Structure 1
Amino acid sequence: MPVPLKSQPSFKDDLATAQRPLTGMWVCSGSPLVAEICAGSGLDWLLIDAEHSPNGLESVLAQLQAINGYPVTAVVRPPVNDTVIIKQYLDLGAQSLLIPMVHTPDDAAAAVAATRYPPNGVRGVGSALARSARWNRIPDYLSVAAQTITVIVQIESSQAVENVEAIMAVDGIDAVFIGPSDLAASMGVLGEQENPRVVAAVEHCIKAANAAGMPVGVNAFAEPMALHYMSAGVDFILTGADVALLARGSEALAAKYINSFDAGPSASY
Protein backbone atom coordinates (compact mmCIF):
# COMPACT_ATOMS: atom_id res chain seq x y z
CA MET A 1 0.00 0.00 0.00
CA PRO A 2 1.55 3.39 -0.95
CA VAL A 3 2.66 5.82 1.73
CA PRO A 4 0.16 8.71 2.10
CA LEU A 5 1.89 12.01 1.33
CA LYS A 6 1.09 15.69 1.24
CA SER A 7 2.80 18.74 -0.25
CA GLN A 8 5.22 20.59 2.00
CA PRO A 9 4.87 24.32 2.75
CA SER A 10 6.59 26.68 0.32
CA PHE A 11 8.40 29.97 0.86
CA LYS A 12 5.23 32.09 0.92
CA ASP A 13 4.14 30.14 3.99
CA ASP A 14 7.41 30.99 5.74
CA LEU A 15 7.03 34.66 4.82
CA ALA A 16 3.45 34.77 6.10
CA THR A 17 4.51 33.74 9.62
CA ALA A 18 7.96 35.36 9.84
CA GLN A 19 8.64 37.81 12.67
CA ARG A 20 11.93 39.05 11.17
CA PRO A 21 13.65 39.18 7.78
CA LEU A 22 14.38 35.65 6.55
CA THR A 23 18.08 35.26 5.83
CA GLY A 24 19.46 32.97 3.18
CA MET A 25 22.37 32.24 0.87
CA TRP A 26 23.04 31.23 -2.71
CA VAL A 27 23.89 27.62 -3.50
CA CYS A 28 25.80 27.82 -6.76
CA SER A 29 28.38 25.02 -6.75
CA GLY A 30 26.09 22.42 -8.28
CA SER A 31 27.05 19.99 -5.51
CA PRO A 32 24.38 18.16 -3.47
CA LEU A 33 26.97 17.67 -0.74
CA VAL A 34 27.63 21.40 -0.46
CA ALA A 35 23.89 22.08 -0.57
CA GLU A 36 23.37 19.69 2.33
CA ILE A 37 26.16 21.32 4.34
CA CYS A 38 24.50 24.70 3.80
CA ALA A 39 21.10 23.25 4.70
CA GLY A 40 22.32 22.50 8.21
CA SER A 41 23.72 25.98 8.78
CA GLY A 42 20.71 27.41 10.60
CA LEU A 43 19.81 29.79 7.76
CA ASP A 44 16.16 30.25 6.85
CA TRP A 45 16.38 29.57 3.12
CA LEU A 46 18.68 28.55 0.29
CA LEU A 47 18.57 29.70 -3.31
CA ILE A 48 19.63 27.00 -5.77
CA ASP A 49 20.71 28.99 -8.81
CA ALA A 50 20.48 27.74 -12.38
CA GLU A 51 20.90 31.10 -14.11
CA HIS A 52 24.57 31.81 -13.42
CA SER A 53 25.68 28.45 -12.01
CA PRO A 54 26.55 25.01 -13.44
CA ASN A 55 23.16 23.57 -12.56
CA GLY A 56 20.88 21.51 -14.77
CA LEU A 57 17.77 19.49 -14.07
CA GLU A 58 19.62 16.52 -12.60
CA SER A 59 21.82 18.56 -10.25
CA VAL A 60 18.89 20.70 -9.08
CA LEU A 61 16.92 17.54 -8.33
CA ALA A 62 19.81 16.07 -6.35
CA GLN A 63 20.15 19.28 -4.32
CA LEU A 64 16.43 19.40 -3.57
CA GLN A 65 16.68 15.84 -2.32
CA ALA A 66 19.78 16.64 -0.24
CA ILE A 67 18.14 19.68 1.37
CA ASN A 68 14.82 17.95 2.04
CA GLY A 69 14.42 17.07 5.70
CA TYR A 70 16.50 19.98 6.98
CA PRO A 71 14.77 22.95 8.63
CA VAL A 72 15.39 25.25 5.67
CA THR A 73 13.35 26.20 2.59
CA ALA A 74 14.71 25.68 -0.90
CA VAL A 75 14.03 28.28 -3.58
CA VAL A 76 15.12 27.56 -7.15
CA ARG A 77 16.01 30.15 -9.78
CA PRO A 78 15.50 28.88 -13.35
CA PRO A 79 17.82 30.26 -16.02
CA VAL A 80 15.03 32.11 -17.80
CA ASN A 81 11.34 32.99 -17.59
CA ASP A 82 10.27 30.21 -19.93
CA THR A 83 7.11 28.11 -19.80
CA VAL A 84 8.79 24.80 -20.63
CA ILE A 85 11.72 25.29 -18.27
CA ILE A 86 9.47 26.38 -15.40
CA LYS A 87 7.32 23.27 -16.00
CA GLN A 88 10.41 21.08 -15.72
CA TYR A 89 11.57 22.67 -12.48
CA LEU A 90 8.10 22.35 -10.97
CA ASP A 91 7.92 18.70 -11.98
CA LEU A 92 11.26 18.13 -10.23
CA GLY A 93 9.53 19.16 -7.02
CA ALA A 94 10.66 22.77 -6.75
CA GLN A 95 7.81 24.55 -4.95
CA SER A 96 9.36 28.02 -4.67
CA LEU A 97 10.69 29.71 -7.80
CA LEU A 98 12.60 32.96 -8.25
CA ILE A 99 12.00 34.03 -11.85
CA PRO A 100 14.78 36.26 -13.25
CA MET A 101 14.54 39.29 -15.51
CA VAL A 102 10.89 40.19 -15.01
CA HIS A 103 10.62 43.68 -16.47
CA THR A 104 6.89 44.14 -17.15
CA PRO A 105 3.48 43.01 -15.91
CA ASP A 106 3.26 40.78 -18.99
CA ASP A 107 6.51 39.07 -17.96
CA ALA A 108 5.09 38.54 -14.49
CA ALA A 109 1.80 37.19 -15.84
CA ALA A 110 3.70 34.74 -18.05
CA ALA A 111 5.64 33.47 -15.04
CA VAL A 112 2.45 32.89 -13.07
CA ALA A 113 0.72 31.19 -16.01
CA ALA A 114 3.63 28.77 -16.33
CA THR A 115 3.00 27.57 -12.76
CA ARG A 116 -0.75 27.03 -13.13
CA TYR A 117 -2.63 24.20 -14.78
CA PRO A 118 -5.36 25.07 -17.30
CA PRO A 119 -7.75 26.83 -17.29
CA ASN A 120 -5.79 29.18 -15.00
CA GLY A 121 -2.47 28.79 -16.78
CA VAL A 122 -0.45 26.77 -19.27
CA ARG A 123 1.50 24.28 -17.15
CA GLY A 124 1.65 20.91 -18.85
CA VAL A 125 0.06 18.01 -16.98
CA GLY A 126 2.45 15.20 -16.06
CA SER A 127 1.81 14.58 -12.39
CA ALA A 128 1.89 10.80 -12.72
CA LEU A 129 5.46 11.08 -14.02
CA ALA A 130 6.75 13.78 -11.68
CA ARG A 131 8.29 14.13 -8.25
CA SER A 132 6.14 17.24 -7.66
CA ALA A 133 3.11 15.00 -7.11
CA ARG A 134 5.30 12.22 -5.72
CA TRP A 135 4.13 10.20 -8.71
CA ASN A 136 0.47 10.77 -7.86
CA ARG A 137 0.94 9.82 -4.22
CA ILE A 138 -0.20 13.31 -3.15
CA PRO A 139 -4.00 13.19 -3.27
CA ASP A 140 -5.66 15.76 -5.55
CA TYR A 141 -2.32 17.29 -6.51
CA LEU A 142 -3.71 18.79 -9.72
CA SER A 143 -6.34 20.77 -7.83
CA VAL A 144 -4.10 21.94 -4.96
CA ALA A 145 -0.78 22.48 -6.77
CA ALA A 146 -1.17 26.26 -7.12
CA GLN A 147 -1.60 26.60 -3.36
CA THR A 148 1.75 24.88 -2.78
CA ILE A 149 3.82 27.00 -5.20
CA THR A 150 5.53 30.33 -4.46
CA VAL A 151 6.19 32.66 -7.40
CA ILE A 152 8.85 35.30 -6.71
CA VAL A 153 9.79 37.66 -9.53
CA GLN A 154 13.11 39.42 -9.78
CA ILE A 155 13.22 43.20 -10.20
CA GLU A 156 16.62 43.89 -11.76
CA SER A 157 16.31 46.61 -14.38
CA SER A 158 15.34 50.25 -14.60
CA GLN A 159 12.27 49.20 -16.55
CA ALA A 160 11.23 46.80 -13.78
CA VAL A 161 11.68 49.51 -11.15
CA GLU A 162 9.41 51.80 -13.17
CA ASN A 163 6.84 48.99 -13.43
CA VAL A 164 7.19 47.60 -9.92
CA GLU A 165 3.69 48.59 -8.75
CA ALA A 166 2.08 47.09 -11.85
CA ILE A 167 4.18 43.93 -11.57
CA MET A 168 3.14 43.44 -7.94
CA ALA A 169 -0.51 43.86 -8.95
CA VAL A 170 -0.39 40.75 -11.16
CA ASP A 171 -2.52 38.02 -9.60
CA GLY A 172 -0.41 35.09 -8.44
CA ILE A 173 2.77 36.98 -7.63
CA ASP A 174 3.75 36.04 -4.08
CA ALA A 175 6.86 38.20 -3.60
CA VAL A 176 9.38 40.41 -5.40
CA PHE A 177 13.15 40.19 -5.12
CA ILE A 178 15.48 43.01 -6.07
CA GLY A 179 18.81 42.31 -7.78
CA PRO A 180 21.11 45.32 -7.37
CA SER A 181 23.85 43.93 -9.63
CA ASP A 182 21.84 43.79 -12.85
CA LEU A 183 19.94 46.87 -11.76
CA ALA A 184 23.22 48.78 -11.54
CA ALA A 185 24.19 47.55 -15.00
CA SER A 186 20.88 48.68 -16.48
CA MET A 187 21.38 52.11 -14.89
CA GLY A 188 24.79 52.52 -16.53
CA VAL A 189 26.85 51.96 -13.38
CA LEU A 190 28.01 48.38 -13.87
CA GLY A 191 29.53 46.89 -10.72
CA GLU A 192 28.37 49.77 -8.50
CA GLN A 193 25.65 48.16 -6.40
CA GLU A 194 26.17 50.79 -3.71
CA ASN A 195 25.85 53.73 -6.09
CA PRO A 196 23.37 56.19 -4.54
CA ARG A 197 21.11 55.95 -7.58
CA VAL A 198 20.97 52.17 -7.32
CA VAL A 199 20.34 52.27 -3.58
CA ALA A 200 17.56 54.80 -4.11
CA ALA A 201 15.94 52.54 -6.71
CA VAL A 202 16.11 49.57 -4.35
CA GLU A 203 14.61 51.65 -1.55
CA HIS A 204 11.82 52.79 -3.88
CA CYS A 205 10.90 49.17 -4.58
CA ILE A 206 11.02 48.26 -0.89
CA LYS A 207 8.69 51.13 -0.01
CA ALA A 208 6.32 50.26 -2.84
CA ALA A 209 6.20 46.62 -1.76
CA ASN A 210 5.66 47.53 1.88
CA ALA A 211 2.80 49.83 0.89
CA ALA A 212 1.23 47.09 -1.22
CA GLY A 213 1.63 44.44 1.48
CA MET A 214 3.85 42.43 -0.86
CA PRO A 215 6.83 40.53 0.60
CA VAL A 216 10.07 41.97 -0.76
CA GLY A 217 13.62 40.67 -0.74
CA VAL A 218 17.05 41.81 -1.87
CA ASN A 219 20.53 40.50 -2.56
CA ALA A 220 23.26 42.15 -0.47
CA PHE A 221 26.62 40.49 0.21
CA ALA A 222 28.19 43.54 1.86
CA GLU A 223 27.18 43.56 5.52
CA PRO A 224 26.54 47.33 5.77
CA MET A 225 24.16 47.19 2.80
CA ALA A 226 22.46 44.05 4.10
CA LEU A 227 21.81 45.70 7.45
CA HIS A 228 20.66 48.88 5.71
CA TYR A 229 18.09 47.05 3.59
CA MET A 230 16.92 44.97 6.52
CA SER A 231 16.28 48.19 8.41
CA ALA A 232 14.55 49.63 5.33
CA GLY A 233 11.90 46.93 5.44
CA VAL A 234 12.86 43.86 3.42
CA ASP A 235 11.19 40.60 4.39
CA PHE A 236 13.92 38.29 3.09
CA ILE A 237 17.52 38.64 2.01
CA LEU A 238 20.47 36.77 0.51
CA THR A 239 23.74 37.60 2.23
CA GLY A 240 26.30 35.19 0.77
CA ALA A 241 27.03 32.27 -1.53
CA ASP A 242 28.66 28.89 -1.11
CA VAL A 243 31.22 29.58 -3.87
CA ALA A 244 32.04 33.06 -2.51
CA LEU A 245 32.54 31.73 1.01
CA LEU A 246 34.86 29.02 -0.31
CA ALA A 247 36.77 31.50 -2.48
CA ARG A 248 37.32 34.00 0.34
CA GLY A 249 38.02 31.30 2.92
CA SER A 250 40.62 29.57 0.77
CA GLU A 251 42.24 32.94 0.02
CA ALA A 252 42.43 33.63 3.74
CA LEU A 253 44.20 30.29 4.31
CA ALA A 254 46.70 31.12 1.57
CA ALA A 255 47.33 34.56 3.04
CA LYS A 256 47.80 33.14 6.53
CA TYR A 257 50.04 30.16 5.81
CA ILE A 258 51.81 30.97 2.53
CA ASN A 259 52.01 34.70 1.99
CA SER A 260 53.54 35.30 5.39
CA PHE A 261 56.42 32.96 4.57
CA ASP A 262 56.87 34.39 1.09
CA ALA A 263 57.49 37.77 2.71
CA GLY A 264 60.67 36.43 4.30
CA PRO A 265 61.85 36.49 7.91
CA SER A 266 60.96 39.38 10.14
CA ALA A 267 63.59 42.10 10.58
CA SER A 268 65.42 41.89 13.92
CA TYR A 269 65.66 44.79 16.32
Structure 2
Amino acid sequence: MSIGMQCLLLLIVMVIIMTLGWRWQKRRSNAGIVDVLWSIGVGLGAVLMALMSDGAALPRSLGAVFGAAWAARLALHLWRRVSHEHEDGRYRQLRRHWRGNQTKFFLFFQFQAALVVLFSLPFAAVARNPTSQITPALFVGAVIWAIAILGETVADRQLTRFRQNPAHSGKTCREGLWRYSRHPNYFFEWLHWFAYVALAWGSSLAWLAWSGPIVMYIFLRWISGITFTEAQAVRHRGDDYREYQRTTSMLIPWFPKSTTSDKGLT
Protein backbone atom coordinates (compact mmCIF):
# COMPACT_ATOMS: atom_id res chain seq x y z
CA MET A 1 0.00 0.00 0.00
CA SER A 2 1.31 3.47 -0.87
CA ILE A 3 2.27 5.85 1.92
CA GLY A 4 -0.50 8.18 0.78
CA MET A 5 -3.15 5.51 1.27
CA GLN A 6 -1.66 4.57 4.63
CA CYS A 7 -1.85 8.17 5.80
CA LEU A 8 -5.41 8.53 4.53
CA LEU A 9 -6.54 5.40 6.36
CA LEU A 10 -4.87 6.55 9.57
CA LEU A 11 -6.43 10.00 9.23
CA ILE A 12 -9.94 8.54 8.87
CA VAL A 13 -9.44 6.39 11.96
CA MET A 14 -8.09 9.34 13.96
CA VAL A 15 -10.90 11.69 12.89
CA ILE A 16 -13.36 9.17 14.37
CA ILE A 17 -11.30 8.73 17.55
CA MET A 18 -10.82 12.46 18.05
CA THR A 19 -14.52 13.11 17.46
CA LEU A 20 -15.33 10.68 20.27
CA GLY A 21 -12.69 12.39 22.38
CA TRP A 22 -14.24 15.79 21.69
CA ARG A 23 -17.62 14.48 22.87
CA TRP A 24 -15.94 13.15 26.02
CA GLN A 25 -14.37 16.52 26.87
CA LYS A 26 -17.62 18.30 26.11
CA ARG A 27 -19.40 16.26 28.79
CA ARG A 28 -16.58 16.53 31.34
CA SER A 29 -15.03 19.92 30.49
CA ASN A 30 -11.58 18.35 30.35
CA ALA A 31 -9.71 18.72 27.07
CA GLY A 32 -6.70 16.85 28.46
CA ILE A 33 -8.10 13.69 26.87
CA VAL A 34 -6.75 14.96 23.54
CA ASP A 35 -3.19 14.27 24.70
CA VAL A 36 -4.09 10.72 25.68
CA LEU A 37 -5.73 10.06 22.33
CA TRP A 38 -2.85 11.67 20.43
CA SER A 39 -0.41 9.32 22.14
CA ILE A 40 -2.57 6.30 21.38
CA GLY A 41 -2.93 7.46 17.80
CA VAL A 42 0.81 7.72 17.21
CA GLY A 43 1.25 4.20 18.61
CA LEU A 44 -1.50 3.00 16.31
CA GLY A 45 0.24 4.73 13.41
CA ALA A 46 3.49 2.89 14.20
CA VAL A 47 1.70 -0.45 14.08
CA LEU A 48 -0.31 0.32 10.94
CA MET A 49 2.76 1.51 9.05
CA ALA A 50 4.58 -1.70 9.95
CA LEU A 51 1.68 -3.91 8.92
CA MET A 52 1.02 -2.19 5.60
CA SER A 53 4.60 -1.68 4.36
CA ASP A 54 7.02 -3.90 2.48
CA GLY A 55 10.31 -3.37 4.33
CA ALA A 56 12.28 -6.10 6.08
CA ALA A 57 10.67 -7.76 9.09
CA LEU A 58 13.31 -6.63 11.61
CA PRO A 59 13.05 -2.84 11.23
CA ARG A 60 9.28 -3.06 10.75
CA SER A 61 8.97 -5.00 14.01
CA LEU A 62 11.28 -2.65 15.88
CA GLY A 63 9.37 0.40 14.66
CA ALA A 64 6.01 -1.09 15.64
CA VAL A 65 7.13 -2.34 19.05
CA PHE A 66 9.08 0.78 19.98
CA GLY A 67 6.33 3.13 18.80
CA ALA A 68 3.53 1.20 20.48
CA ALA A 69 5.45 0.78 23.77
CA TRP A 70 6.36 4.47 23.91
CA ALA A 71 2.77 5.47 23.17
CA ALA A 72 1.29 3.07 25.72
CA ARG A 73 3.52 4.37 28.51
CA LEU A 74 2.80 8.00 27.71
CA ALA A 75 -0.95 7.46 27.23
CA LEU A 76 -1.25 5.62 30.56
CA HIS A 77 0.71 8.35 32.37
CA LEU A 78 -1.46 11.08 30.87
CA TRP A 79 -4.68 9.16 31.52
CA ARG A 80 -3.85 8.93 35.23
CA ARG A 81 -3.62 12.71 35.31
CA VAL A 82 -6.70 13.35 33.19
CA SER A 83 -8.88 10.93 35.13
CA HIS A 84 -7.80 12.05 38.61
CA GLU A 85 -7.04 15.77 38.29
CA HIS A 86 -8.77 18.91 37.11
CA GLU A 87 -8.27 20.09 33.56
CA ASP A 88 -4.68 21.05 32.78
CA GLY A 89 -4.02 24.78 33.15
CA ARG A 90 -3.11 25.11 29.47
CA TYR A 91 -6.55 23.91 28.43
CA ARG A 92 -8.33 25.94 31.09
CA GLN A 93 -6.63 29.00 29.66
CA LEU A 94 -7.66 27.93 26.14
CA ARG A 95 -11.22 27.36 27.33
CA ARG A 96 -11.34 30.89 28.76
CA HIS A 97 -9.77 32.36 25.64
CA TRP A 98 -12.30 30.60 23.40
CA ARG A 99 -15.12 31.23 25.88
CA GLY A 100 -15.99 27.56 25.79
CA ASN A 101 -16.70 27.58 22.05
CA GLN A 102 -17.14 23.90 21.19
CA THR A 103 -16.71 24.43 17.45
CA LYS A 104 -13.17 25.64 18.10
CA PHE A 105 -12.53 22.70 20.41
CA PHE A 106 -13.82 20.32 17.74
CA LEU A 107 -11.45 21.80 15.16
CA PHE A 108 -8.62 21.62 17.70
CA PHE A 109 -9.25 17.90 18.21
CA GLN A 110 -9.31 17.32 14.45
CA PHE A 111 -6.05 19.22 14.10
CA GLN A 112 -4.56 16.74 16.57
CA ALA A 113 -5.85 13.92 14.34
CA ALA A 114 -3.85 15.40 11.46
CA LEU A 115 -0.80 15.72 13.71
CA VAL A 116 -0.96 12.00 14.43
CA VAL A 117 -0.52 11.36 10.71
CA LEU A 118 2.39 13.80 10.57
CA PHE A 119 4.15 12.10 13.49
CA SER A 120 3.58 8.68 11.93
CA LEU A 121 5.79 9.52 8.94
CA PRO A 122 9.01 8.42 10.73
CA PHE A 123 7.42 4.99 11.25
CA ALA A 124 6.61 4.84 7.54
CA ALA A 125 10.29 5.46 6.80
CA VAL A 126 11.37 2.73 9.22
CA ALA A 127 8.82 0.27 7.81
CA ARG A 128 10.40 0.58 4.34
CA ASN A 129 13.91 -0.21 5.51
CA PRO A 130 15.13 -3.29 3.57
CA THR A 131 17.80 -4.15 6.18
CA SER A 132 17.22 -7.75 7.29
CA GLN A 133 19.99 -8.06 9.87
CA ILE A 134 21.20 -6.20 12.95
CA THR A 135 23.36 -3.24 11.90
CA PRO A 136 25.11 -0.49 13.90
CA ALA A 137 22.30 1.89 12.93
CA LEU A 138 19.60 -0.41 14.29
CA PHE A 139 21.62 -0.94 17.46
CA VAL A 140 22.07 2.82 17.94
CA GLY A 141 18.34 3.33 17.39
CA ALA A 142 17.50 0.77 20.06
CA VAL A 143 19.94 2.38 22.54
CA ILE A 144 18.54 5.88 21.92
CA TRP A 145 15.00 4.57 22.38
CA ALA A 146 15.87 2.82 25.66
CA ILE A 147 17.63 5.88 27.09
CA ALA A 148 14.77 8.17 26.06
CA ILE A 149 12.04 5.97 27.53
CA LEU A 150 13.98 5.52 30.78
CA GLY A 151 14.66 9.25 31.08
CA GLU A 152 11.08 10.27 30.33
CA THR A 153 9.71 7.72 32.80
CA VAL A 154 12.05 8.87 35.56
CA ALA A 155 11.27 12.55 34.92
CA ASP A 156 7.51 11.92 34.97
CA ARG A 157 7.72 9.93 38.21
CA GLN A 158 9.89 12.54 39.92
CA LEU A 159 7.43 15.30 39.05
CA THR A 160 4.41 13.21 40.06
CA ARG A 161 5.99 12.39 43.43
CA PHE A 162 6.81 16.07 43.99
CA ARG A 163 3.29 17.22 43.13
CA GLN A 164 1.68 14.64 45.39
CA ASN A 165 3.33 16.15 48.47
CA PRO A 166 0.98 18.86 49.89
CA ALA A 167 3.99 20.70 51.31
CA HIS A 168 5.14 21.42 47.73
CA SER A 169 1.97 23.29 46.75
CA GLY A 170 2.89 26.41 44.79
CA LYS A 171 6.56 25.42 44.61
CA THR A 172 8.74 24.46 41.66
CA CYS A 173 10.17 20.97 41.36
CA ARG A 174 13.98 21.02 41.40
CA GLU A 175 14.49 17.38 42.30
CA GLY A 176 16.36 14.77 40.28
CA LEU A 177 16.40 15.49 36.56
CA TRP A 178 14.40 18.68 37.16
CA ARG A 179 17.50 20.22 38.72
CA TYR A 180 19.27 20.12 35.34
CA SER A 181 16.42 20.92 32.95
CA ARG A 182 13.13 22.80 33.32
CA HIS A 183 11.56 20.20 31.03
CA PRO A 184 13.47 16.91 31.20
CA ASN A 185 10.32 15.02 30.19
CA TYR A 186 10.15 17.09 27.00
CA PHE A 187 13.87 16.59 26.37
CA PHE A 188 13.61 12.81 26.46
CA GLU A 189 10.39 12.99 24.44
CA TRP A 190 12.34 14.85 21.76
CA LEU A 191 15.33 12.50 22.04
CA HIS A 192 13.02 9.52 21.49
CA TRP A 193 12.32 10.60 17.90
CA PHE A 194 15.98 10.32 16.95
CA ALA A 195 15.66 6.56 17.48
CA TYR A 196 13.57 6.31 14.31
CA VAL A 197 16.10 8.33 12.34
CA ALA A 198 18.62 5.59 13.13
CA LEU A 199 16.14 2.76 12.52
CA ALA A 200 15.29 4.21 9.09
CA TRP A 201 18.93 4.23 7.96
CA GLY A 202 19.01 2.54 4.55
CA SER A 203 15.32 3.13 3.83
CA SER A 204 14.28 4.82 0.59
CA LEU A 205 12.36 7.25 2.82
CA ALA A 206 15.10 7.71 5.44
CA TRP A 207 14.95 11.49 5.07
CA LEU A 208 11.31 11.39 6.17
CA ALA A 209 12.31 10.10 9.62
CA TRP A 210 13.84 13.51 10.38
CA SER A 211 10.34 14.96 10.48
CA GLY A 212 9.96 13.43 13.95
CA PRO A 213 12.68 15.29 15.89
CA ILE A 214 12.38 18.46 13.79
CA VAL A 215 8.61 18.88 14.08
CA MET A 216 8.61 17.77 17.73
CA TYR A 217 11.22 20.39 18.61
CA ILE A 218 9.20 23.11 16.86
CA PHE A 219 6.05 22.15 18.78
CA LEU A 220 7.83 21.77 22.13
CA ARG A 221 9.82 24.97 21.81
CA TRP A 222 7.42 27.41 20.22
CA ILE A 223 3.87 26.09 19.83
CA SER A 224 2.25 23.81 22.39
CA GLY A 225 4.89 22.74 24.90
CA ILE A 226 7.33 24.98 26.72
CA THR A 227 5.71 28.33 25.88
CA PHE A 228 2.30 27.46 27.32
CA THR A 229 3.67 25.41 30.22
CA GLU A 230 6.01 28.15 31.40
CA ALA A 231 3.43 30.90 31.02
CA GLN A 232 1.13 28.87 33.27
CA ALA A 233 3.97 28.24 35.75
CA VAL A 234 4.82 31.95 36.01
CA ARG A 235 1.17 32.80 36.62
CA HIS A 236 0.96 30.27 39.47
CA ARG A 237 4.45 30.41 41.01
CA GLY A 238 5.66 33.88 40.16
CA ASP A 239 9.19 34.78 41.26
CA ASP A 240 9.99 31.23 42.32
CA TYR A 241 9.57 30.03 38.74
CA ARG A 242 11.32 33.10 37.30
CA GLU A 243 14.35 32.20 39.43
CA TYR A 244 14.08 28.63 38.14
CA GLN A 245 14.07 29.97 34.57
CA ARG A 246 17.19 32.04 35.31
CA THR A 247 19.20 29.21 36.83
CA THR A 248 18.08 26.11 34.95
CA SER A 249 18.53 25.02 31.35
CA MET A 250 15.31 25.21 29.37
CA LEU A 251 15.42 21.84 27.60
CA ILE A 252 18.79 20.10 27.27
CA PRO A 253 19.99 19.01 30.74
CA TRP A 254 22.95 21.00 32.05
CA PHE A 255 24.42 22.08 35.36
CA PRO A 256 22.34 24.84 37.02
CA LYS A 257 23.62 28.37 37.56
CA SER A 258 24.01 29.75 41.04
CA THR A 259 20.87 31.12 42.67
CA THR A 260 20.30 34.66 43.88
CA SER A 261 20.61 33.50 47.50
CA ASP A 262 23.93 31.79 46.68
CA LYS A 263 25.28 35.05 45.28
CA GLY A 264 24.24 36.85 48.41
CA LEU A 265 26.45 34.52 50.47
CA THR A 266 29.60 35.16 48.42
Same fold (TM over 0.5): no
TM-score range, shorter chain: under 0.3
Structure number with higher relative contact order (C-alpha < 8 Å, ≥ 6 residues apart)? 2
* Higher-helix-fraction structure: 2
Give TM-score scaled by structure 1 length: 0.21
